[in-house]
Amino acid sequence: MTQTIPTEPPDAPPPGRVVAVRGSVVDLSFAEGGLPDLMEAVEILWDGPERLIAEVQLHLDSGTVRAIAMQGTSGLARGTAARRTGAALTAPVGEAVLGRLLDVMGAVRDGGPELPADVPRLPIHRAPPPLARRSGRREPFETGVKVIDLLAPLARGGKAAMFGGAGVGKTVLVMELIRGMVEHYTGISVFAGIGERSREGQELWEEMARSGVLDRTALVFGQMNEPPGARWRVGLTALTIAEHFRDAARRDVLLLMDNVFRFVQAGAEVSGLLGRLPSRVGYQPTLASEIAELQERVASTEGAVVTAIQAVYVPADDFTDPAVAELFSHLDSSIVLSRAMAAEGLYPAIDPLSSSSNLLDPMVVGEEHYRLAEEVRRTIAHYRELQDVIALLGVEELSTADRQAVKRARRLQRFLTQPFLVTEVFTGHAGVSVPLAETLKGCRAILAGEGDDWAEASFFMTGTLDQVQAREQAGRA
């Protein structure tokens, strides 16, 4: 695929040569005084199927650098010529990327025409905006997902992440948020597929086309089968596109990343290939700085905001994993998915006790919302404390107050489930999006005991309290 990257002037030093190839790691020698800078892109002039670009990571000596290739190096021979580009890796930005699917280098991967030659490009390595330019405003960003809006509200211009192990519904939840939020969102959306399966990318492309939001969306993919360098840098490419719309066009941007843990994994692969000694649990010693480089660029200015929603795989359901723990420290909202709830069929399997948000504060969401959320959490926590007793002795051995708390907690758990729009074709249940006011109304009624005599099944996988009541009346008829 053709793309425009600055190349050295005609009077530049003689080109370099490939001296060693080890997978994605390429050692290059350059003439005296012509050594590329760190993070500079170097073009390798081979006869492969597409242009081969590598990013300089180390200066081995006064005439040799070690670089990470962004494409596969199969067939690359020692002695192949290379030349400096004089710049870092760049990404295409602006209106031309909307409705297109790109790779880490900005090459088109959707089978359509190439981007115009005059499309502006920006370096993917950029500093976050200074504190003086940042906006301190935080306001809730309504999603239509009951449990999120009630217990872990997202911030407009903030960072939120969905944490969970394999198979608990992270990607489905992100897809639902994309579908629900983008349709009611007037800004630009940028999706970064980091280490994604090609099937998931295809499904997302088709879903956005069906929803009619593709013309306001840019998709950037570094697929699972691509070299670690591509997966490592694809998030920065998507961020660069989002920052241009924020800074140059003054438009709000919704940035979606799936999966940020693959970014960490790719960094660990690159670190090992570069010969660095591993740190805790085998992660790269630069783990904290790499995550900070990605997360601190998700920032809002006075003119426009970038709202980030990310999916994070939790290896072996271990939330003490260093990568997961480091990511938690950068977020405004942390949504934790529970394997135990998924096993019970309570979807979305969001743990109401482990999930949290900086916005759940009476000064932000209001006193009523805050108190109601705390009461819901207290009721569900009390039920969980009683579960061992129930398992051993049965619910009949509980006091009257405890039996009532268990009854209401189980109804709250089921009321906070809901069918998703993106799963209609699989479940046969019509998806619902619930306004926050209806969520608060339903939880308030359940805590007041209005649904004590209704069947638990009436609350399961439905939307508003009125729909629960209609289902209960139909069941009794």
Show which residues are catalytic: 170, 196-197
- Report residue 404 CA to chain centroid gap: 39
Q: How far is CA 84 from the centre of its chain?
A: 33
Distance CA 82, CA 38 (A): 16
390: three-class secondary structure by DSSP: helix
Is residue 258 a contact partner of residue 176, using CB atoms and an 8 Å limit? no
Which backbone phi and psi does 320 adopt, to 5 degrees? Answer: -90, 0
Output the CA–CA distances (angstroms, integers) from residue 129 to 15, 68, 236, 238, 403, in the order listed.
Answer: 36, 27, 15, 16, 54
Please identify which residue in the block is written with the tokens 């190349």: 7
Instruction: With beta carbons less than 8 A apart as the criterion, state whether 54 and 39 touch.
Output: no
Residues 409, 388: Cα–Cα separation, whole Å: 15
436, β-bridge pairs: none
Check residue 188 and report its DSSP letter: E
Reading the block at residue 377, the tokens are 């959490």
Helix (H) or strand (E) holding 336: strand 333-336
How many other CB atoms sit within 10 Å of the CB of residue 167? 11
Residue type, 349: A
Distances, alpha carbon 402 to alpha carbons 328, 372, 405, in Å: 34, 19, 5
Q: How far is CA 93 from the centre of its chain?
A: 20
The DSSP line for 8-46 is --TTSPPPEEEEEEETTEEEEE--TT-PPPTTEEEEE--
